[in-house]
Structure 1
Amino acid sequence: MPARRNSSEGGHSARTRYAQELALLRSEKGISLRALGDAVRADHTHLSNMEHGKALGSSDLVRELDRYYGTTHLVVLWEAAAHDLSRFREQYQTYMTLESEALALHQYAPSLMPGLLQTEAYARALLQAAGPVDEDTLADDVAARMARQDLLGRADQPEFRAVLDEAVLRRPLTDPKEWQAQLAHLIQVADRPNVTIYVVPSSLGLHGLTNTDTMFLWLPDGRMVAYVETGYSGQLVEDARDVDRLRRSYDHLRDIALSPRESGDMITQYMEEAPCEPPR
């Protein structure tokens, strides 16, 4: 078995180290990209993009590469590359850093499934709907979003509370099976001791956060910050007065929402009523 190289050697980014290791392993194996593609059932152009740092590839493909090369560290490098924030806007990099450090996260979602609760299929469909994007970039964005969810399973188990507008449950994926899988995933995640999910019925009408996807983060230094997002932009809110104003609106929503048990019943009802076949 090839020795595992030190992933921290040199001053390169996680994405660069990952790409270099892919190229080095193939070179040591003395195999062409086409032959490698045949061996791991992947497109050779996609594999080339991975070796040149233009794509990450899926976690399943990376595990297949580990099996092929007889290694165990490629998936570790892939995970580090997926968490690499260098490809994101500076403002979003700041938010993601704070998110990874937060002791507790409370979110209100007005229309879309929160990123921390999305299945891979939901994330892919949502990112595709945002606009034209090549397959490699799309795969990278999906991988990065899935990697964010690791924080919910950390040893210290930060608290995550999500208040979902009923509109989230009324906007399904095109594929009924993928939508049922997303709702089933929502129920499964809600069973975790550090996760609580509430649903706000549409019948309760307008409120202070009707069009504002909002995340509150409790940080180790005692501060609370918020991140508000629309379909076109996001803003980190750090001023205590502005955060408090948003917080009061959030607390009102939590107070009028269904209880976690009632919310779970509603999610289950939507899952059971979801069609089994796509519309003609």
Structure 2
Amino acid sequence: MPQRRLVTGRSQEPRQRFAEELRQLRARKGDSLRQLGERLGWDWSLFGKMEKGETLGGPEVIQALDQYFGTPGLLLALWELAAGDHTQFRERYRRYMALEAEAVSLWHFAVSVLPGLLQTPGYAREVLAAGGIRGAELEQQVKARMSRRELLEGEEAPPFRTILAEAVLRTPLQDEGEWHAQLAYLARTANRDNVTVQVLPQSTGVHGLVATDVWFLRLADGRSVAYTENAHWGELVEENARIERLNRAYDVVRDMAMSPAESREFILRRLEEVPCDSST
């Protein structure tokens, strides 16, 4: 029996199909590799290697490409198949990443680590390295995380509120200079019109989100979704009853947190406690 011919003519080998899709999307956009690198903030040679199938890049690089090409979730799904990683990036997480790019407002609670949207390169590098990422992949991931901060910039940036458990601000980096830079960046960002930062004092004790990082996304059609995560896994929550329970817990935490003005003062006090290396 003759082999069935593929209608699309595209490769069915996951890695090659991923590379083909990247080439076609870039060609459709009319960008050179160098232009693509300049617009997304990565070395253009990385995209050249990805299009040749020599490397796959990291997940945050792929998310940035999905956002740039207007294909939310598509490239990430192809990347997952090519990488053969069916544990870290399940369907619900891919869906969350696509929804985040479309959200008209974002609410967040942090247990122990600053959200990626507020991280400096030094902070991101240490956090990612603690998770076992090394070498060139680490640098790619750091650049990718920095690109996500653009979500909070510009005239059409969505409003973002984060409540930080006090432990987040009392867990320093090993490098004091980088920790000082991170606190300074957080203090500046907290002054943006679309960003609200609150600190939850340790003295408030046990609460409904004591062990849960959570994101709430409000979408343009009025729907809301939530995403809960810990150091090992995350879950997209779309059931209204569960979202409502998480929302009630979040409201309680927000009522117990310092006001935005008090929180800025708290961050500045922490900043004053950290030695500043004048050479940085």
Tell me the equivalent position of 1:160. 160
DSSP 3-state at the match of 2:146: helix
Offset of 1:157 from its aligned partner?
2.1
For 1:49 and 1:11, how far apart are their aligned partners in 2? 15
Q: Structure 1 length normalisation: TM-score? A: 0.72
DSSP 3-state at the match of 2:21: coil
Unaligned runs of 5+ in 2: 1-18, 35-42, 59-63, 81-88
- Specify the code of the residue in structure 2 equivalent to 1:117: L
Q: Does 1:85 align with 2:82?
A: no
RMSD of aligned alpha carbons: 3.1
CA deviation map 1:34-89 (0-9, x unaligned): xxxxxxxxxxxx997664222769xxxxxxxxxxxxxxxxxx98x949x9635462
251-260 or 268-277, larger mean C-alpha shift? 268-277
> CA 1:15 to 1:120, structure 2 compared with 1: closer, same or farther past 3 Å?
farther
Match of 2:49 among 44, 47, 52: 52
For 1:16 and 1:267, how far apart are their aligned partners in 2? 43
Contact 1:227 1:234 survives alignment (8 Å): yes
Tell me the equivalent position of 1:26. none
Q: Does 1:263 align with 2:263?
A: yes
1:194-209 → structure 2 map (5 Å cutoff): 194-209=194-209
For 2:141 and 2:24, how far apart are their aligned partners in 1? 13
> CA 1:120 to 1:15, structure 2 compared with 1: closer, same or farther past 3 Å?
farther
CA deviation map 1:163-193 (0-9, x unaligned): 0000000001111111011001101111110
DSSP 3-state at the match of 1:113: coil
DSSP 3-state at the match of 1:107: strand
Contact 2:26 2:32 survives alignment (8 Å): yes
For 1:161 and 1:91, how far apart are their aligned partners in 2? 23
> CA 1:16 to 1:257, structure 2 compared with 1: closer, same or farther past 3 Å?
same
- Specify the code of the residue in structure 2 equivalent to 1:52: K
Tell me the equivalent position of 1:224. 224
- Specify the code of the residue in structure 2 equivalent to 1:110: V
Offset of 1:14 from its aligned partner?
6.7
For 2:251 and 2:234, how far apart are their aligned partners in 1? 21
Tell me the equivalent position of 1:12. 21
- Specify the code of the residue in structure 1 equivalent to 2:267: I
Offset of 1:130 from its aligned partner?
0.5
* Structure 1 runs (4+) greater than 3 angstroms displaced: 14-18, 20-23, 46-51, 83-88
For 2:257 and 2:24, how far apart are their aligned partners in 1? 42
Tell me the equivalent position of 1:135. 135
For 2:179 and 2:171, how far apart are their aligned partners in 1? 9
Q: Does 1:102 align with 2:99?
A: no
Offset of 1:264 from its aligned partner?
0.4
DSSP 3-state at the match of 1:268: helix
- Specify the code of the residue in structure 1 equivalent to 2:49: H
Contact 1:15 1:80 survives alignment (8 Å): no
Aligned-pair identity (%): 45
- Specify the code of the residue in structure 2 equivalent to 1:85: L
Question: How many residue pairs end up in the alignment?
Answer: 225
Contact 1:49 1:55 survives alignment (8 Å): no
DSSP 3-state at the match of 2:251: helix
> CA 1:136 to 1:257, structure 2 compared with 1: closer, same or farther past 3 Å?
same
251-260 or 140-149, larger mean C-alpha shift? 140-149
Tell me the equivalent position of 2:9. none
Q: Structure 2 length normalisation: TM-score? A: 0.72
For 2:215 and 2:119, how far apart are their aligned partners in 1? 15
Tell me the equivalent position of 2:119. 118
> CA 1:47 to 1:162, structure 2 compared with 1: closer, same or farther past 3 Å?
closer
DSSP 3-state at the match of 2:172: coil
- Specify the code of the residue in structure 1 equivalent to 2:215: M
For 2:146 and 2:56, how far apart are their aligned partners in 1? 15
